Structures are given as C-alpha cells and as structure tokens.
Amino acid sequence: MVLQPSERHHRDWNHRRLGPWCSPTGSPAPLSCETGCGEGSWILVCRLLVPTQVSLLSMEEDIDTRKINNSFLRDHSYATEADIISTVEFNHTGELLATGDKGGRVVIFQREQESKNQVHRRGEYNVYSTFQSHEPEFDYLKSLEIEEKINKIRWLPQQNAAYFLLSTNDKTVKLWKVSERDKRPEGYNLKDEEGRLRDPATITTLRVPVLRPMDLMVEATPRRVFANAHTYHINSISVNSDYETYMSADDLRINLWNFEITNQSFNIVDIKPANMEELTEVITAAEFHPHHCNTFVYSSSKGTIRLCDMRASALCDRHTKFFEEPEDPSNRSFFSEIISSISDVKFSHSGRYIMTRDYLTVKVWDLNMENRPIETYQVHDYLRSKLCSLYENDCIFDKFECVWNGSDSVIMTGSYNNFFRMFDRNTKRDVTLEASRENSKPRAILKPRKVCVGGKRRKDEISVDSLDFSKKILHTAWHPSENIIAVAATNNLYIFQDKVN
C-alpha cells in the first residue's frame, strides 16, 4: 500500500519514502543583533495566557475578561493540548496580534493605547476578541479525521473600520471579518422589544427605528469559506500584493484563489508524480513576493527553493529560479536529508532576499544568486551530537519558523528550552534569549543565555544535556515597524519590547 502524504506518520514517510536530501553547508559567521537587539536590551512587556476551553467565569477571579495579562499569570493545570498556540501573526499596523491554537480558536490581542499617566503600558496587548474558527471534522469518503488546529493566520490590509484575516486548518481556509459594534437598533415595527414577531393586525402606527448606545461588542463573522480544494494538509497561505488573490499550499500542490470565489481555485503548482512510489520531495512552505503579484517561492523537503513567475505559464511546474546549496560530502550523515528539509521560507520586506529555516540553520538568499546563500546562521549547532536522540523522540521533525524585523536587518527564530535566537546581519552578532515563566515579571530585562557543550560550565551557562526538548519556540512574530516581538511557548504568549523603544 502506498502511503499518502496526509495519512503518513511524518517520521516514517519523510525518512523512508523520500529520496536523498541535501545537507546544509557553509561557514557560519558568529552573529548577534544590532543596537536595540543586543545584550540586555529586551524587556518583558507582558505574558499573555491564551484563554483556555474552560469558561473564564468559572475561575472565581474578579477580572475583566478582556484584560487577560499579567494579573492572570498562574500555572493552570487545565491547560490541554488544544490550548497550545500553533501560529502567531501581527497585522499590518502592529496594533493587533492574532494567535491560533490546536483547539481551532483564534485569539486577537489589541495594543494598549498610551496615556499620560501610564506611558509604559503602550507596548502591552490585551484580549480583543476570541472566536472558534474551525471545528473537528470527519471525511467519510476517506475515513479520515480532520483536526481543528489552526495552521496559519494571515491578515489583510485594513480598508475600513473592520479587520479581515484568513485562517486555515489542514483542509479549509476561512475569511473572517472582525468588527466593533457599540450601537443597537430599536423601534422595529414588526418585532417587539424582545425580538418576537408581532401580529401585523395589531400594528396601527409606523415607527422610525433609532440607534441606541450599547456596551462595545467585538464580533467575528465568517465571510468566505474556501474548502474542498486540497487532498493533502495545508501548510501555508499567503496573500498576494494585489489583495485580490491568495494562495494555499499543501504537500504536493499550490492553489490560487480569488477572494470573491469560494467554489473554484486555480492549480498553479502540482508536483505529484504519476506513480507515488517515485515521490522524492514535498512542498513545505510557500509565499508571495511582497511587491510583485506575479512572483512567489516555495520550499521543499530536499532543502531547495523554487522561484516561480505566473506570467511564464499557467502551471508553474517549471520554476524561473532554483536555489540550492551544494552538498559537502564530508558532512554527509544518516540525518543529513532530514535536517536539510526547509520548514519556513520568508521574503524580506524589500523583496530582495529570501530567508529559509532548516533544522539547524537560518539562511539568507539573494534573488540574484542561486548557487548558495549569502548568509548562514547556526541556530543550535550544539545539537549535532544529539541528532540520534532527537530522531528517537521525533524532535528532529519539529518545524521552526523564522521572521524578519521591520528593516530586514535582524532575523529571529526559535529553539529548544524556550530559547529564541536573534541574528544581526550588520554587526554579525547574535544573542540567545529565553521566554520562561520564571522570568515573567513585568518590565524585567532579559538576560542572554549561553549553552555549554562539555567541559566546565560557568554559573550563567546551561549544559546541552540539561535542555528541555519539550519546551520549544516554534512560532514567533515581529512588529512590522517597531522592536516588539511576540513569542509563543505552549499556551503562553510573551511580548517583548526593546528597552530603548
């Protein structure tokens, strides 16, 4: 029996069915972040506990349910698998921050407005809206359960008072409208005050409905549902710069959608072979160019990146550019093909560069140079000696994301033990920081962390053997214009701000 990508256990399918992958090579530069991102310059603004499935009213706490921040920090035993954050995304202004979790819920946080009395609260985010985006489903034709987990969230630019965002699970993409309402209509002719229909025979006069003030209510309503277009699991969605179309990518195909058409999409990439036994790679991530609506990239499990131009042909199976780093035979090992798989690909804001993340490194590619990356940053090279145990506990298949800062000068990605790394492309310095409950006091300054590999360990260092691989930073986000970052750790969302910001 041939295993389909969506049905596989990722370990068996990736390692045993896929062909040889390329090993990452290149000499990494010792790196760290620019002024404002260096040692001791980041402070914790707030730690947000994403609301769990349990009703907030049952917690016997006198809190405003829209103000879940530092006053609500406690190790709650009822946090379940469904509460784990699976994606984080700022909107285009940075005023809103959306998270999706494995329970299918989207929680939107809004930035606190600055006041004369509390200037320091400007960087804090509080709960703005919470809604159930996806529900668990069952495909009766394939006898396959479809998880409600939110894989990706993408914001659309704000055009009016309402906000719009895309959210997706493994199979279905939804367009949501988030709007505020502080007035309600009263004085209906055909309804009474409780909303029941009145007998038309009893109506003797006509009234003009009026709007009355009411408590602010934030509503999330689904405007479009894009379904039944993917056989395999959706791993990426990306909004085009024309803001009329977007694409969704699964293991073997990429589809192009129009926001106004829900029952039809156009297949622009299809790498599925006629015989699934000949399958050697899968699509791992895809993204549109930030300025050119005809250009997009997608990465593969072989560690390659393909740049496609939709003007060249309707079906973009033939790439325009192909980015791949030659393999160093001396670095070849049993795990080379696994750790070279790209888990995330991102265009820089300028559109000149592409950033990719594989298991051990972050690489920056110039669109004009296809044969090798211009920069290679080692994220946690000390784990090379631990690859065997990481393979046994399945951690080697973790999919880490990477993000640019607003000026494309600093990049950030996650690691284990709730560590996350920042690399400054100008000063070639790097820093390792930790998002932990132990350091969750408001305005606390983050201290750089160091990992010790063998030998004597200093007081401020942590041994590589002491790392907790169950604590991992897979999802991060950077404010589009300021030095404010969001880091997701299990069901906690940490907001950090540059000390001089």
Is pTM beyond 0.85 here? no
% of the chain surpassing 70 pLDDT: 83
- What per-residue confidence (pLDDT) applies to 169? 96
Residue 419 lies in a domain: yes
Token couple for 405 = 């800062």
Residue 29 lies in a domain: no
Number of domains in the chain: 1
Residue 132 lies in a domain: yes
Sort 437 into a burial class: Cβ within 10 Å, 0-12 / 13-18 / 19+: middle
% of the chain surpassing 90 pLDDT: 63
- What per-residue confidence (pLDDT) applies to 486? 95
What domain range is 320 assigned to? 46-54+80-177+226-498
Closest to 268 measured CA to CA, from 311, 321, 324, 323: 311
Residue 151 lies in a domain: yes
Residue range 137-152, pLDDT digits in tens: 988 877 888 999 999 9
- Cα 200 to chain centroid distance, Å, stands at 53
Mean pLDDT lowest for which of 103-117, 171-185, 417-431?
103-117
- What per-residue confidence (pLDDT) applies to 202? 83
Indicate the residue type of 81: E
| 260 close to 303: Cβ distance less than 8 angstroms | no
CB atoms within 10 A of CB 436: 18
- Residue 108 sits in a domain whose CATH number is 2.130.10.10
For residue 266, give Cα distances in angstroms to 287, 314, 316.
16, 9, 11
Residue range 228-272, pLDDT digits in tens: 999 999 999 999 999 999 999 999 999 999 999 999 999 999 999
Mean pLDDT, rounded, of the chain: 84
Token couple for 268 = 């622009």
- What per-residue confidence (pLDDT) applies to 456? 72
Residue 186 lies in a domain: no
> In this structure, is the dihedral angle defined by the CA atoms of residues 462, 467, 471 and 477, taken in order, positive or negative?
positive
- What per-residue confidence (pLDDT) applies to 2? 37
Residue range 411-460, pLDDT digits in tens: 999 999 999 999 999 999 999 999 987 766 777 788 899 998 876 777 77
Residue 208 lies in a domain: no
- pLDDT for residue 464 is more than 80: yes
- What per-residue confidence (pLDDT) applies to 217? 87
- How far apart (Å, rounded) are the C-alpha atoms in residues 382 and 461? 13
Task: Please indicate whether residue 186 or residue 455 has the higher confidence score (pLDDT).
Answer: 186
Token couple for 279 = 């399958």
- How far apart (Å, rounded) are the C-alpha atoms in residues 37 and 17? 42
Residue 218 lies in a domain: no
> In this structure, is the dihedral angle defined by the CA atoms of residues 64, 69, 74 and 75, taken in order, positive or negative?
positive
Residue holding tokens 């106004």?
A: 260
Q: What is the 3-state secondary structure (H, E, C) of 241-300?
A: CCCCEEEEECCCEEEEEECCCCCCCEEEEECCCCCHHHCCCCEEEEEECCCCCCEEEEEE
Residue 24 lies in a domain: no
Residue range 307-326, pLDDT digits in tens: 999 999 989 989 999 999 98
